[in-house]
Amino acid sequence: MRGSHILIDEIRAARLAFGWSRKTLAERVKTSPQMIQRLENGIGSVKTLVTVMAALDFQLAGLGPGTTLAEALRNRRQKRKWSLDKLAMKTGLSRTTIASLERGGGSVASLIRLLAVLAPNVKRRAPERAYWGQGDKVDRDSRFTPPEFMSMVYEAFGPVDLDPCAHRLSPVCATRRIMLENGGDGLRDAWSGKLAYVNPSYSQMLRWLRRAHEQWQEGKVKSVVCLVPVRTDSSWFHEVLSVDADIYLLQGRVRFLDTRGKGQQTPFSLMVVALGVTSEQKLRFAQLSPGQWLPGSQASLPASLTPDRGNSWKPG
């Protein structure tokens, strides 16, 4: 029987919004298309559901705090001051089943029954968007870093070994380019090289930053430089990325190129997120591009090194 809960309906809608077939999503989460179809019918394990939610950057609102779905369920029950036995009575589920769901196990069907009682108003959190203009929503991700900005990247950080989200029209010069149009996928394929430059699709910004951090942490690439909008609202940014990365806030707006080669300024502020770069590289970039490294990043720069331009960086 097809699942009618909003959670299942929205999972299906999220996949279609990405333009992914069941086969594509299945490949990303290492399962079968049949399993994705069953999941979209409300059948399957919560473990698979959580993996799919992560792949689709799918988050729930109206459930409560928690770094995982299981933790959020447990916190929600405790906030309502319900024991496992009381919730079991209200849902018709066994105490053991509810305990399993609160540990990340259980079935999707059981989860839906639990949510209907525990959080009846739960819904999908609206995905973050980065539109360039009302008339550009269809191709909002078809924007490319201009050559003049890339020149500063090359001079400060060195030659680019990998562009994991490359496009045939992009002016980025890289030894290796992973392109969707050629069957590649930087969110799936392993990264390599000394320096990866990432100017991702901004509608999937957080997923790309997570991927960059993962590949850098695993030693697949020595350093990563990402150009992304200034968005710091996610808990992962504060708890993980801001600890490991150097963040540079750009002054002014970058004039990106569209598919026709025409320039267009971003309607939002940008930042450079760098992983594994040196103090000298950071200093050189600050000399070339107006802006400033965030305080945590500035601390690793020698106080004796001061950029020529006063508006770029100042020792803490």
Phi, psi dihedrals of residue 265, rounded to the nearest 5°:
-70, 145
Q: Which CATH architecture has domain 6-124?
A: Orthogonal Bundle (1.10)
Cα 193 to Cα 74, 122, 141, 162, 197, distances in angstroms: 43, 43, 25, 6, 11
Q: For residue 261, what are its two tokens?
A: 């080669």
Q: What is the mean pLDDT of each run of 10 residues along the chain (316 residues)?
A: 65 82 88 92 91 84 83 92 95 95 94 92 69 44 77 96 89 91 90 95 86 95 94 84 94 72 69 96 95 69 43 36
Report pLDDT for 137. 43
Longest dimension (CA), the chain: 70
pLDDT of residue 115: 92
Using the structure block, give the residue that is written with the tokens 């959020």: 72
Query: In the chain, which segments carry CATH 3.40.50?
Result: 139-298
Task: Note the pLDDT of residue 204.
Answer: 82
pLDDT (0 to 100) of residue 286 = 95
Predicted TM-score of the model (pTM): 0.55
Domain topology for 139-298: Rossmann fold (3.40.50)
Q: What is the reported pLDDT for 296?
A: 66
- What pLDDT was estimated at residue 227? 93
Q: What is the pLDDT of residue 307?
A: 45
- What span, in angstroms and rounded, lies between the C-alpha atoms of 300 and 60? 37
pLDDT for residue 305: 44
The bridge status of strand 263-265 relative to strand 255-257 is: antiparallel
- What's the pLDDT at 151? 93
Q: Range(s) for CATH 1.10.260 in the chain?
A: 6-124
